[in-house]
Structure 1
Amino acid sequence: MAGTEVYNYNPSVAAAIIFAILFGIAVLIVTYQTFRTRTWFLIPFVVGGYFEFTGYIARILSAQQTPNWSIGPFIIQYLLILVAPALFAAGIYMELGRIIILVHGEKQSIISRRWMTKIFVAGDVISFFTQAIGAGNMAGRTAAAISRGQTIILIGLVLQVVSFLFFIVTAAVFHLRVRSGPTQKLLTEPNLPWQKHLLALYATSFLILIRCVFRLIEYSQGRSGSLMTHEVFLYIFDSVLMLGTMLVFIVIHPSEVNALLKGNGAKAVRNVVSVYGMM
């Protein structure tokens, strides 16, 4: 496939190597934390980290082929880097449901806890597969296939942005209601770290939301737009933001919430903190 059909610039091998290393380190830490504390609902988040790592490995291989790029490495890096945030989102959605259970705040949520995870994860799955289908179309050698792929990806990104905005509103309303009227659980256990984990959810949600808005603008501009013709924007508004998302969950790992629900919070904190002894 001709180079002009895949990249609109010469991709940097050095940048791809740097982010492959950073994502590799981050995903190993998150994997250790998650399996050490048996926080199984975070598995999609961990898989998203491996998608990022593998995506940048494939990008290294693709960049080394300049200017005679083959379609295989290009599509692998394109697909994995594109859809990884949807997997991060799945873990974020599931943690909110557990925070609500932790504080016994089901009545303060605008969506029933029973349906919350199902609604948001279902939207996330639809967005994930829509973007994946669009990325698959990008493998076509014709301008029509590439254009169709970009349109499908754009639809998936719109769904993802709408879902994230709704999620942020849901979390914020719950947060405000509980702060103004603490539950009986919080009255008896005021030191529960629920707000710390909600702040982590806000941080990761906004990072992914900014990234999705960037991708929306990128695909709206098309292949001749400034965002698709300058590689630096990919690293600033995707790579850095998604690495930041992983770092937030490394520092404020959801295993604490998981363990508190099981009545074993102190042990969870020791297990999570112990990871830093490896570093």
Structure 2
Amino acid sequence: MSDTCSNVQGYVDPNWPRPDDDGSSCIIIYGYVPSFALGVLGVVLFTTALVAHSYLLSRYRTWYFSTVIVGTVMEIIGYIFRILASKKNPYSVAYFVGQYFCIVVAPVFYSAAIYTLITPMTKRIGREYAPLSPKVILWTFIICDIIATTIQMTGAGLIGRAYSDGKDPTTPNNILLAGLAFQVFSFAVFIFCLLFFLVRSRNTTDRHFKIFSTAVLVATLAVYLRTCIRLAETAEGLLEFLSTHEAIFGCLEFLPIVIAVYIFVYWHPGRWLGSESIHKKTGKSELEVSQLPR
């Protein structure tokens, strides 16, 4: 090991010598060698979800929900990087930054998709039950997501640069922390708006809508749980307990996002709220259209 790495504290796998190249960190930044099995499972599950969501998007033309596709592609790329790290080089800064960036930012696109559901849900039930107009709610939280994503992307990129240059990553980590904190706050406000809408409209909705809204709420809370865990991990600091145990990553990062993505495979808004073309022609959901007298 070079003199540059001699004083660096962190995890080094005794069974995996550090490659002598400029693209490798002095330590394994994950705090462990990433699991190959978890990486493959991530690629398989998110690829399957991508195929399903692409089909549903094309069938129902719910273009407002297309950010789910972007988020799922990013998840796939993130887990491919984890596979590469597990098999080729766990010290690689490029692999770490690639998976970190994709997996941290991807859920922002899922939350953006959830924000868009307020509009068709409000059209279905009635504007009077929402705390604000659907457009105000949508664009307020989309802008919040853009701000949070920009800050997180900046922080994640600077963290990789700091590790690559052997510098202290504390300041970049604080930038990432600010982006996550802002996202947690804005998402909490959205959840309040969603609950306000669902509680006020509970006596006027049919069984199908109640089932769908419950699924939306569960998926929303799953994404929010993951965001809170990322905030706690970043606040604790890099190379600390939360970020260096893959079991925590698997249970509180990987699993909640998988749950949210697959909830929307079955409870897809196109199936439960209707496609855009159906709304434009009849103002009714696909389920309501199927129940019309023929």
What's the TM-score once normalised by structure 1's chain length?
Answer: 0.86
Superposed CA RMSD: 2.1
Q: Secondary structure at the match of 1:80?
A: helix
Q: Secondary structure at the match of 2:241?
A: coil
- Alignment of 1:109 with 2:130, yes or no, is yes
- Alignment of 1:243 with 2:258, yes or no, is yes
Matches within 5 A, 1:152-163: 152-163=175-186
- Alignment of 1:261 with 2:276, yes or no, is no
Please tell me whether the aligned partners of residues 3 and 66 of structure 1 are also in contact (alpha carbons under 8 angstroms).
no
Percentage of matched positions with identical amino acids: 27
- The code of the aligned residue for 1:261 comes to H
Residue 217 of structure 2: aligned partner: 202
User: Following the alignment from structure 1 to structure 2, what is the Cα–Cα distance between the partners of residues 60 and 19?
Assistant: 10
Residue 43 of structure 2: aligned partner: 20
User: Following the alignment from structure 2 to structure 1, what is the Cα–Cα distance between the partners of residues 256 and 245?
Assistant: 17
Please tell me whether the aligned partners of residues 11 and 63 of structure 1 are also in contact (alpha carbons under 8 angstroms).
yes
Unaligned runs of 5+ in 2: 1-23
Unaligned runs of 5+ in 1: 271-279
Residue 9 of structure 2: aligned partner: none
Residue 276 of structure 1: aligned partner: none
Cα offsets for 1:162-194 (capped at 9, x unmatched): 1111111111111121225x3xxx6xxx56x33
Structure 1's consecutive aligned runs of 4 or more residues displaced over 4 angstroms after TM superposition are: 142-145, 267-270
Residue 15 of structure 2: aligned partner: none
- The code of the aligned residue for 1:177 comes to R
- Aligned residue pairs total 260
Matches within 5 A, 1:1-279: 1-4=24-27, 6-67=29-90, 69-103=91-125, 105-140=126-161, 141-142=164-165, 144=167, 146-180=169-203, 182=204, 190=206, 193-256=208-271, 257-259=273-275, 261-262=279-280, 263=282, 265-266=285-286
- The code of the aligned residue for 2:267 comes to I
User: Following the alignment from structure 2 to structure 1, what is the Cα–Cα distance between the partners of residues 252 and 223?
Assistant: 9
Structure 2 CA distance for partners of 1:106 and 1:16, relative to 1, 3 Å: same
Higher fraction of helix: 1
The 10-residue stretch of structure 1 (135-144 or 10-19) with the greater mean CA deviation from structure 2 = 135-144
Structure 2 CA distance for partners of 1:24 and 1:71, relative to 1, 3 Å: same
Q: Which has the higher contact order (CA 8 A, sep 6+)?
A: 1
Which protein has the larger Cα radius of gyration, Structure 1 or Structure 2? 2
Q: Secondary structure at the match of 1:217?
A: helix
